[in-house]
């Protein structure tokens, strides 16, 4: 899994176009605004298909460590397939199931989730400090990457 963690001053999104693997969402969740938070953009990779729960544990550890460094209590998970190339992506079932695994592993209240499988219009205003953006890659132990 590839992660891009951003400490933001503000973030908004609007779900625009539904893909074949999109989840159904109520109208009130198609567009949302947030204040200070950490956005965790993530992409699942082919190696993640080997052990999705282990990948979620490793990613949750990385996210918690970042949250401890930058401070905000609000976290927004954003499945963002564009951090990896087309031939590097996991199966759609691993990608679709990862947000549930991440929420379970994070064990923290109030985790927000952007709608999975939708093309979204969005805006991110980064805090701009030296830790405001962090990237990481977590790989399951069995993977041979």
Q: What is the set of domains in the chain, with CATH numbers?
A: 2-137 (3.50.80.10)
Cα–Cα distance for residue pair 129/70, rounded to 1 Å: 9
pLDDT value at 123 more than 90: yes
Tell me the average pLDDT across 3-15.
97
Examine the pLDDT at 135 and tell me if it is beyond 60.
yes
Q: Residues 6 or more apart from 100 whose CB is under 8 A from it?
A: none
Q: For residue 72, what pLDDT band results from cuts at 50, 70 and 90? A: confident
In contact, 39 and 78? CB cutoff 8 Å: yes
Number of helices (H) and strands (E), helices first, in the chain?
A: 2, 7
- How far apart, in whole angstroms, are the C-alpha atoms of residue 21 and residue 19? 5
């Amino acid at each position: 899994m590839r992660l891009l963690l951003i400490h933001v001053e503000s973030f908004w999104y609007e779900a625009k176009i539904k893909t074949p693997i999109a989840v159904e969402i109520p109208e009130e969740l198609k567009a949302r605004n947030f204040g200070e938070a950490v956005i965790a953009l993530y992409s699942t990779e082919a190696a993640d298909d080997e052990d999705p729960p282990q990948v979620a544990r490793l990613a949750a550890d990385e996210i918690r460590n970042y949250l401890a460094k930058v401070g905000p209590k609000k976290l927004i998970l954003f499945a963002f397939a564009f951090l990896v190339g087309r031939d590097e992506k996991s199966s759609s079932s691993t990608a679709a199931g990862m947000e549930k695994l991440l929420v379970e592993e994070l064990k923290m209240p109030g985790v927000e989730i952007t709608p999975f499988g939708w093309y979204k219009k969005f805006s991110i205003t980064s805090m701009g400090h030296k830790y405001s953006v962090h990237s990481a890659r977590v790989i399951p132990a069995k993977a041979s990457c």
